[in-house]
A and B are shown apart, each in its own frame.
Chain A
Amino acid sequence: MIENYPRLREFRYTLFRIFRNPTAVLGFVLLFFFLFVAVCAPLLAPPKNPYNPYMMPHKGYSPIPRPPNSTFVFGTTSGQYDIFYGVVWGTRTAFRVGLFVVGIAALVGITLGGLAGYHGGIVDEVIMRFVDVIFAIPTLVLAMAIVVAFGRGLNNIMIALALVVWRNYVRVMRSGILTLRDQDFVAAASVMGVSDFKIILRHILPNAIYPVLVIAFMDMGSMVITAAFMSFVGLGAPKGYADWGQMVALARNYIVGPVEDPLRFWYTICYPGGCIILFVLAWNLIGDALRDAFDPKLRRG
């Protein structure tokens, strides 16, 4: 029955290709886990300060981290911040950062890429030269420069990253539109009298969006990493904010403990660090599975 609807059949085949990969299943499981944690954050780690739940509670100011015990399930960082609290609310921060940056960047990138691909001519030239120039500077360096200009803080990191990362989407969108625009099926639709706008919407966009989706998923991970590093270096969230990168920064002086017990403070880095790794891994696994599923050359191999 489903065989009669080619779109549905292709969709089911795509799902098969995605989930045929055990790694993709793992990715989805991880992602849902983090989603759950983020949504249930107030339940899992009740905020001490309802107006600013992102500031981690701390008992005391001692710089020496304390190991996991009954009150502090994951232990405390340098400065006595609750690691468990930070990890839970840090999930929300991670989603915020990722979705904001990728959302805005993708929107801007798709629009500009679409304009360039569709109109061609001088619009295309100008946009693409600008993108070419902006590609010359690596993401981290350019984002740092913008943050230095605008000032520190998590919000500024997000804005800076969004201002840099849109460039990833322009070329892909544009090339997608260009290839599709020249394909026979678009010419056929045009000859049959379908309007330009409808052609873009129903034929070109659904096909051109796939590589953009793949990049978006991979970027979610990359952005969290870059933001975490910038926080680690001190450009991001203030000390005590529930951000995984910030927490790793707090652990910086305690990576190597005293000589007789060098791994004593493992929890200060392993819990927040592990969260970063797993979160990014989830998005990357899904993105990779999507890429394999969408690539027409690898299909039906």
Chain B
Amino acid sequence: MPTLIEVKDLVTNFYTYEGVVRALNGVSLTIHHGTTFGLVGESGCGKSVFAHSLLRIIPAPGRIESGQVLLHINSNSEPRVIDLLRQSETYMESLRGDRISMVFQEPGSALNPIMSIGEQVAESFLFHRQKEMSAAVLEALGDDRSRIPQPLKSILIALYRRAQQNPKAPILRLLNRLPLLRWWGRPMQRQALLRAMAIIASLGIANPEEMLHRYPHNLSGGMKQRIVIAVALACHPMLLIADEATSNLDVTIQAQILELLRELKQRTEISSILLITHDLGVVAETCDQVGVMYAGNLCEAAPVTELFRTPRHPYTQALLNSVPQFSHTGELHSIEGSVPNLVAPPPGCRFHPRCPQAMAICRRAFPETVAVNHDHQVACYLYTQNPRKALGDGQALE
């Protein structure tokens, strides 16, 4: 399976009054085409920060310090690898919603309350598909049946020809800012609404035409989340990031949404999914690959069955252990201690204060990531071949 996105040593900090919060401490992982990658961890471990860093929508006072986010684009021409962290903001704007989309946790507030559903879904097309829609408009204009009188028609045709070549042409931008002349964009908006209706329908929502005119406050939570997914899928992104997308929904709706995502992946509307969640059950059901995060680091990454069967990192083991089983009697297992304060995290491996198998070396420096199996990585000194080498020569282990 070809690689889709490769993240190397991503470091993100937040500069707050209380100090510098080291949210991401050098996270590296790889997502392949056509897979669902689940990212698990407790609240506050940095999963969301990771997702936001991929899209570079970290709000101030946060800043991505270093690292690489390599996107592999295998277009019809030669395949290219682009480091997203080095691109301009304009490039990122064209990328977001088009190649990489994100769905958030709170469907209730994710939609603009004063815009209709149709407008909001259509916006995705208006941002990224102007060329195709301009072509469609030109076709409709060329049709003799269109009722627009002649001088206006030629103007429109000229404008849309321009839009087809370069949607961001200065003349078009100027027209968009003037109150009355904005009318030129109407045909394209109608096109966008048609496409919006199509994608809403493809998600299995009944009465898509009526839905276009409704407003977010009329919809239930599950429906809103479906609309948010429609917005994210509008341009068939390569990667869909679902940041706790089902955490705030009740279980039945959650099941429906997950089923929907699976179906969409099967229909190859999305290529890959990065599913961020704290629910191991969801991961077990839907993911191909899993990554476990703790306090800003990726502890372990493996194919799903292997992770559940043979977890290597002590944190993963403790996590799986704490999931209540039907057969279990007696007290529930929990992990001793609490999540560290990321302003002053523990030195070395951030889990070592709570780790039942901690060694002296664990507090010296963060362990390298080691491949235990062909697809299974762990960041733990238990699996490092040569700990001395990890610390550099000449240092004592004690």
Contacts and interface: CB of A to CB of B under 8 A. Distances in A.
A–B interface present (Cβ within 8 A): yes
Interface of A: 13, 16, 300-301
Nearest to A9: B18
Nearest to B61: A301
B326 interface: no
Interface of B: 16-17, 61
Contacts of A300: 16-17
A6 to B, nearest CB: 13
A138 B17 CA distance: 42
Contacts of A13: 17
Contacts of A16: 17
A13 B17 CA distance: 9
A300 B15 CA distance: 10
A132 B17 CA distance: 42
Nearest to B16: A300
A59 B359 CA distance: 92
A39 to B, nearest CB: 36
A13 B16 CA distance: 12
Contacts, number: 5
Contacts of B17: 13, 16, 300
Interface of B is mostly: loop
5 contacts: A13-B17, A16-B17, A300-B16, A300-B17, A301-B61
Contacts of A301: 61
Nearest to A16: B17
Contacts of B61: 301
Nearest to B60: A301
Contacts of B16: 300
Listed residue (A13, A16, A301) with the most chain B CB atoms within 10 angstroms of its CB: A301
Cβ-closest 5 pairs across A and B:
A300-B16, A300-B17, A13-B17, A16-B17, A301-B61
A16 B16 CA distance: 13
B109 to A, nearest CB: 14
A300 B16 CA distance: 7
Nearest to A20: B17
B278 to A, nearest CB: 22
A16 B17 CA distance: 10
B257 to A, nearest CB: 28
A25 B329 CA distance: 63
A238 to B, nearest CB: 53
B204 to A, nearest CB: 37
A10 to B, nearest CB: 12
B16 to A, nearest CB: 7
A300 B17 CA distance: 7
A301 B61 CA distance: 8
A301 B15 CA distance: 10
A172 B61 CA distance: 32
A279 to B, nearest CB: 32
A140 to B, nearest CB: 36
A301 B16 CA distance: 8
B342 to A, nearest CB: 15
A188 to B, nearest CB: 21
Nearest to A17: B17
A301 B56 CA distance: 18
A300 B60 CA distance: 11
A20 to B, nearest CB: 9
B251 to A, nearest CB: 24
A25 B54 CA distance: 41
A300 B61 CA distance: 9
Nearest to A299: B17
A222 to B, nearest CB: 32
B61 to A, nearest CB: 8
A13 B61 CA distance: 17
B31 to A, nearest CB: 33
A76 B285 CA distance: 89
A300 B18 CA distance: 9
